[in-house]
């Protein structure tokens, strides 16, 4: 199988886990606002969501990174996801709030790294092909 095709399929699988995780996490957050008495359901949805993020981040590590920036971004993504998972597991302890704040900080760094990667790739595409528009 072509390496680009293999990379593409791996990215799709990772994206699916992220999408499932995002929806489960969102439903848990909505349920928290609507009916906060269903603690077990909220915890289950949050845990499913965070597990989806962890699996998606782990799959991202299987995709060969093109730059060191991508490698760091992928590892920060996994670290942020694992911190969220830890905070979800120990949700009843006070320290879980600090872990979530630390996880948010890691996710912020992660998003900045991914944004820098995107700008680098965009610059390379413009250098190679000129101004390239995805949408017309």
Residue 115: band (very low, low, confident or very high) from pLDDT cuts 50, 70, 90: very high
C-alpha 56/C-alpha 58 separation (Å) is: 5
In whole angstroms, give the CA distance from residue 66 to residue 47: 31
Distance, in Å, from the CA atom of 47 to the CA atom of 29, rounded to the nearest integer, reads: 12
User: What's the pLDDT tens digit per position in 48-86?
Assistant: 999 999 999 999 998 878 889 989 999 999 999 999 999
pLDDT, tens digit, 9 for 90 and up, residues 24-44: 999 998 998 888 788 889 899
Q: Which residue, among 51, 67, 46, has the nearest Cα to 119 in the 3D structure?
A: 67
């Amino acid at each position: 199988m072509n390496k680009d095709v293999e990379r593409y399929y791996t990215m799709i699988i990772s994206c699916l886990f992220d999408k499932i995780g995002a929806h489960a996490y969102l439903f848990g957050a909505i349920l928290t606002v609507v009916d906060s008495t269903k603690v077990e359901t909220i915890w289950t949805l949050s845990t499913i969501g965070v597990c989806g993020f962890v699996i998606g981040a782990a799959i991202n590590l299987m995709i060969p990174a093109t730059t060191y920036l991508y490698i760091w971004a992928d590892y920060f993504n996994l670290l942020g996801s694992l911190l969220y998972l830890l905070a979800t597991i120990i949700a009843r302890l006070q320290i879980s709030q600090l872990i979530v704040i630390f996880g948010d900080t890691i996710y912020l760094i992660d998003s900045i790294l991914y944004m820098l990667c995107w700008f680098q790739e965009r610059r390379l595409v413009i250098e190679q092909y000129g101004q390239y528009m995805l949408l017309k």
